Chain A
Amino acid sequence: MSRDITIELTGLHLGNPVLLAAGILGSTGASLKRAAASGAGAVVTKSIGTVPKPGHPNPTMAETACGFLNALGLPNPSYREFADELRVAKEGGVPVIASIFGADAREFREVAEGLAGADAYELNLSCPHAEGYGAMVGTDPGLVEELTAAVKDCTRAPVWAKLTPNVTNITGIGLAAQRGGADAVVAINTVRGMAIDIESGYPVLGNKFGGLSGPSIKPIAIKAVYDLYEALDIPVIGVGGISSWQDAVEMIMAGAASVQIGTAAGRDPEIFRKVASGIISYLDSNRWELSDIRGLAHEVTYASD
């Protein structure tokens, strides 16, 4: 018999704990539906704001020897246009989480209300390269608490706060989100980074710097999730560098209630089913349930204990 890996996450029922991360294949309803059809337990949209934004000039993405740099700059058609995409995405039959961003509480609320019908909201408090948004607000615990509370105030849907790793103390930010009423935190967004063309001195990205994603940031994400799991009472959703079921299991052992896949989903849009079935086989062969491995890294004993 194969293991049940369905989960309840902030009141949402998910067929499996492997989710599509924000900003990857999430710009259209059709593409979100495709991720759902590929086995994602839920899908998160591209981050949406109040007005149409073209984002940063190309190059918006670059491959380095140890991962991808991106500075898309939150391109989005505004919630007014995206409401249609959200409707289409919901035909996919899995929960659709609207990732939203804004410069202040009023903007966050406006977008959340404009995207009514989302199964949950993920607050982008963490984009490392958009002037005035994302990590610009997500590094200040006071603002994080205020913004989270503002969105909680205007919706009955669960609210997740997505955190940036580009701070000295991520648990401080996580606790602020929890105080603001967040139902979960999502960690991590990309790690601030930059690449320079040595033939000319030009920064490679149009925005000059951006955020690193992919396998190289997994250890950073594991540590963030491990720390947040210890410090917080609300669930932690782990994201950063996951590209196999082994990575997902590791993230869950760090304490993640579920995982999200970004970069690797772009490389292989069919990855969700592979990771989910890998988790099932792993649990089967060890005769474990999903709950047995969640946070396992916090429970192991040492000879010196």
Chain B
Amino acid sequence: MMIEQTEPATPTRERPDAPVTTPGKVGEHTERADGVPKVKGEFEYSSDLWMDGMLWGATLRSPHPHANIWSIDTAEAEEMPGVQAVLTHEDVPGRKVYGMEVPDQPVLAWERVRYQGEAVAIVAADHPETARRALEKISVQYEVLDPLTDPEEAMKEDAPRLHLSGNVLKRINILHGDVAEASASADVVVSGEYEVGMQDQAFLGPESGLAVPDGQGGVDLYISTQWLHLDRDQVADSLGLDPEQVRLTLSGVGGAFGGREDLSMQIHACLLALETGRPVKMAYNREESFFGHVHRHPAKMRYEHGATRDGELLYVKARLVFDGGAYASSSIAVCTNAATFACGPYEVPNARIESHMLYTNNPPCGAMRGFGAVQVCFAHEAQMDKLANELGMDPLELRIKNAVRPGIRFPFGQEVPPPAPVRVILERVGDMPLPEEEEVMGRDLRRLPGGVSNVTHGEGVRRGVGYAVGYKNIGFSAGFDDYSTARVTLSIEEGEPLVRIHTAAAEVGQGLITVEAQIARTELGVERVAVLQADTRVGSAGSTSASRQTYMTGAAVKQACEQVRARIFQKVREEYADEDLAIEDGDIVSGGESVVSLAELLGGEEIEETVEFHHRETEPLDERGQGNAHLQFAFAAHRAVVEVDTELGLVRVVEVATAQDVGKAMNPQALEGQIEGGIAQGLGLALLEEIQIKEGKIQNASFTDYLIPTILDMPSVRAEILELADPEAPYGLKGAGEPPTIASTPAIVAALRDATGRELARVPVKPEQIVGIAEKPPSEPPQPGSRGYSGIGHLDEREEH
């Protein structure tokens, strides 16, 4: 039986009126609709939610990366004054596990914990501090087990099995052409091993939300997420409710970058709210946030490239090993993505790629901006530089020579669709003027590596330049039925036409709601547009990920507008005119002459259309790793200029230049913001960002120890935006959010190699690698007295009495 979505018996929170905006058309500068409330501090984020009588939830997490649970005793916590509920796995009424691709992660652990930070019990209390103290009163008896932390170990036959299905979560092999034959005829062969550390999305708005019981067994959840409907379905499954009894409303989202695709506190808050009959708010702090979401997969990648003497690529062999961590998250899709992008946007006639995704007892990894393409791009671009070096060829020229072009096939068998301007974007970054050389000696300290730390006045500072190019699939791939839903309503309010747009698509900061409004303005010729708060009262929009929302939800809004327009024109044809109809500034125009105003035509009538837009079908890869797996490809090239203090290993990135094909710049300023912000995250991975893990335990769960780029680290960006239309896409647009994060990292590292002559096969690059103390950072922090550090801090030994 299909149950209508019920309205809550105890009305929860007032639904605010959607602000009416007057956007520009597609391609025109339009200020973001939520800009003013954000600068005034009035925009409501999920961590700001507040209701009378609400309780605070808190989560007890496993201190061990791997342990058996023998017992959980909550009695003492339950008796604490102010504590309203203490729940464990026994209190999960529905499915006790969840997961986007494979439901393998316990809502609350039982029998076994598989990573440090896994949720074991939850508490609701009337003050957050009371809730935290109650957690300390829960006694869990663990039998600590050895953690399995190396994916290579996890692959072995005799490794302990972390899941019933074994430790191999996914394996993809791509076999293309004849690598054996090609390698026999290669003039030049280069190989290397590359490593990428675990990066964190580090969105600033911590995981948070408010669950409100409806008094009829259902619940409303106000939440920051990337995909409302997927959250809803997983929450409903675990609560043992019908999806209709669980209503989700998007709350203000403080950034996402992939880290909000998986559930965090959603089910927990709902369980506590239903148990206590009161609204429950949960908000992680920064430390908990590091345990509360998945991270970018660390990778180890072994590559071999073979080419002819004049630089034509003959083959690529690659073995990629990804650490998926304790649970599946979206690792299967990441494994596939990495395999398909392993060779880079180059014509590679023969390839053999193995991509392995393993379960370990490390923190679970999943989606982060770039999704598998980031790791392999670091490796294939390092290989291209190595090859250029071996051939004595210019690195840019080698890339241009081998760039893919429409009509040829990627190593996974799909034909390269037009436009694929890889050559053009490489030429563009090559042609951009280099930032002026500036005398290092005597310069303002703030423009030297190390800045006001006053570590160099220019001695030992060398400049380097590096290039890279990368690409990424847009939209969901490999046979997934990817769609988005939009409802568009046109009515007359206060004598003027107004378009309302309702979707479930998550605005996470990227500016989607502004683009939706621009599309309506363009298609319906109506100045005033209101975008309603995203919620589950309308059909799914799919996830705000894979750079897909402007394409997918944009297309759904566009088509819904077209249908509304068609109905208007039908009315016009019946009563007025039928030639050459258009809507301009609220008037119906025929052959350039105004025939009737929308206000007069519609009167009190509302025209509403709902559209579900599905993109073209894609195919899963076959057993040889072949198939038309992806919908659209977006390309970006980067050039980085760095200055390195070669004595101390400190770096100043002077400039990052980029050329990116976006098909259509829907909102130019927002697009630039995506490019600049994406490059900042690429810079972070190149130089700063890594979750450090020792025996399965995170060592740096804070912004004190996990460093993201500040305004001092980030250089200016020179961007050239190409608009080469994709004939298949709405307005010809290409997804734009991820490409900036992909090749920016390898470009910066290439520049560092250029400046230092070192191999630098691992990111983030640490000072000790730059100065050549170690190719990898030391696994132990240096101790006084250890080699190379003994003199530091001992005045007598330095003879500086």
**B partners with A:** no
State the A residues within 8 Å of B (CB).
Answer: none
State the B residues within 8 Å of A (CB).
Answer: none
